[in-house]
Chains A and B, each alone.
Chain A
Amino acid sequence: MDQKESVRDITPWDGTLSSSDFFSAACAFSEKWKRFNASVPPWLWVPSRKHHLLSSHKEEGYLSLEGMCLIKSSEEQESCRSQTWKEESSISQEEEAVENATLVQSSCDEVNHYDFHIVYSPSYRVPVLYFRSYHSDGQPLPFGEIEKDLPDHSAKIRSESKWTFITQEEHPYLNRPWYKLHPCGTSEWMKLLFLGDTALNKNGFVIEHYLVSWFSVIGQVVGLKIPLGMLETVSC
């Protein structure tokens, strides 16, 4: 094990993670998210089903954030369109309030529900964001509608970067079509984020901050912001 650590110090880091490192990174990420993002549901670790009944010393699964509601205001000017994320549970409370109001304004507010999963890709050795969207009645959203939900700068990021594009593929565990942000450039820009500083590899710094850094980029594509507090680096 000592040998492994010293090898890691010497070899330039290529921006990728092993499967077990991903688990560690996921734990660190979800814990920080809870600390800094109290108003939003936590990311939960979902052990992959086939392993549910078995135990192994390696955790295999994915991070899940489900039931996020995107509330679009009904303002006509798209530039004023605000994008607010809320938990499903807080939505239902608001709806009740509306129903009880005597003056009912026909609500143009649509609520689109989003589920996000962060799944490890053994081929690319990086995390991959999967997401799906559906109306309150469960009907999946066509991609055209999802695109309208995405923040304005998302389209810009996606068109400018050859690395960041959305495709529809089968979820690795759930046998259903989901959308995903293609992983093929991830290791490249992850390397840049850490400025290729191999010294950062010490003491698991990279692993602890990997998903936070990764999400600070990826989240922008789908409009999930990361609070600045989470990005504070631990002074070495």
Chain B
Amino acid sequence: MSGAATVSSSEAHKLVWEGSVPLLIHLHDSEVTTLPPPPPALVLAPRLGYLPLLISQLKPYFSTTLPPGVDTLWFEYRGLPLKWYIPTGVLFDLLCVEPERPWNLTVHFRGYPSNLLLPCEGEDSVKWSFINSLKEAAYVTKGNCKNVMNMSQSDQVELWRSVLNGNLESYQRVSSKLKLGTFEDEYTENISAVSTASQQNSGEADAAAQVKSGEQKLYVNNRIPVRLYVWTVTEDFDDLESAPQIDNWDKISYINRPVEIQKEDGKYFSLNDAIKSLLPEYFPGSSFDNLGDASTKQSVGDEGENTCDPDSSSLPLENAEIKLVRIQGIEPCLEIPFSWVVNNLMNPEYFLHICVCLKVSEANALQ
């Protein structure tokens, strides 16, 4: 994509809902009982969807070759079992640093790794997980989940169906009743929103200039449901191909914490601010601090003897550096107002999923 594009809110929603990841799905060798082995299945998976929902497309491809037994579907990428409750687009943005198109995945119908992955019993499990996240988002935004719990049966069905089928109109019709929207922007229509990483500098200037002329209104409350997936590198990488492979979920720090919007006079709250507010240990100098009372006294720890012994050596930390941010497959300019990102790039369960790569010193790296 060359140059910054002006994208309206409705266009952005449409692009997000139409977003998909081409997958080339190979059946694991151990489950191939026929010769020749079946060819891999080429499937276009919606970004906003979930891998287990692809079973109806995949089963016909592989059913004749599977060994006897009950199907327990799971996926892996280069040996890493994939967490099925993470939306497909997020998995792709996170694990495929240099985007592979199509994305080569391995599918299993047997031997579910239940010590590693939550059990998944098909569509019902995915739906439950989705609704649960929706309730959590409602709680974050409104302080209770009543609006979700009180949805009529038919609305619930339509909401889930609209996610299953990628039907934005139907989704908006039902979800608007939940009143979980958080922002109203006066300048949404005018802002430069999408830019490539290489164009970041000019994009930053554009966005910053346009935003200063706008006004930011906060709609309901200041807490935004966010799920941050952070991985660290200790060296710069020139191109994405040389970025280290994530081969273990322990290398990803999963932060499920709401962003609290804090405003400073004369400044709008940017995406950069939002991300840094969730990572105070890496960005101690950040003016927006998200982890509660700054007034907590250190002495509290003394009461607990060795059961609550805080590491009291406050080492001065070098600031980490944000190397990469991906949301819905795009790398937004970090100076974009966070409200725009929230309004346009959220998933249907009202969570904003952000993949972040940080460059840190060796001592601070996630092992």
Contacts and interface: CB of A to CB of B under 8 A. Distances in A.
A31 B292 contact: no
B292 A30 contact: no
Given A19-B292, A31-B307, A123-B136, A55 B315 contact: yes
Interface stretch (A44-52, A71-79, A93-101, A148-156): A44-52
B115 A57 contact: no
Contact of A175 (B250, B281, B307): B250
A27 B302 CA distance: 9
B3 interface: no
Contacts of A60: 291
Interface stretch (A105-113, A166-174, A194-202, A227-235): A166-174
B291 A43 contact: no
Interface residues of A, number: 43
B116 A51 contact: no
Interface string B290-325: 011111101011011101111111110100000000
A42 interface: yes
Interface in B244-277: 249-250, 253-254, 256-258
Interface stretch (B56-64, B137-145, B194-202, B233-241): B137-145
Contacts of B135: 184
A183 to B, nearest CB: 9
Given A54-B281, A55-B313, A184-B135, A42 B295 contact: no
Given A20-B291, A24-B300, A123-B136, A172 B256 contact: yes
A45 B303 CA distance: 13
A140 interface: yes
A140 B83 CA distance: 19
B44 interface: no
Contacts of A169: 118
A21 B300 CA distance: 10
Interface string B309-343: 11111110100000000000000000000000000
A30 B298 contact: no
B291 A19 contact: yes
B6 interface: no
Contacts of B118: 168-170, 177
B304 A30 contact: yes
Contact of A1 (B83, B258, B295): B295
A225 interface: no
A123 B294 CA distance: 19
The size bracket of the interface on B is 35 or more
Given A50-B366, A54-B281, A123-B136, A45 B115 contact: no
A56 interface: yes
A125 B83 CA distance: 25
A82 to B, nearest CB: 29
Contact of B139 (A44, A45, A55, A123): A123
B280 A42 contact: no
B296 A23 contact: yes
B89 interface: no
Contacts of A123: 136, 139-140, 225, 256-258
B363 interface: yes
A51 B282 CA distance: 10
Nearest to A24: B300
Contact of A4 (B258, B295, B298, B305): B295
Nearest to A25: B300
A38 interface: no
Contact of A124 (B136, B250, B281, B364): B136
Nearest to A19: B292
A27 B254 contact: no
Contacts of A58: 280, 291-292, 296
24 contacts: A1-B295, A20-B293, A21-B292, A24-B300, A26-B304, A27-B300, A27-B303, A27-B304, A31-B303, A34-B307, A42-B307, A43-B307, A45-B304, A57-B296, A58-B296, A59-B308, A123-B256, A124-B139, A140-B114, A175-B116, A177-B115, A177-B116, A177-B119, A184-B135
Interface of A: 1, 4, 14, 18-21, 23-24, 26-28, 30-31, 34, 42-45, 47, 50-51, 53-60, 122-124, 140, 167-170, 172, 175-177, 184
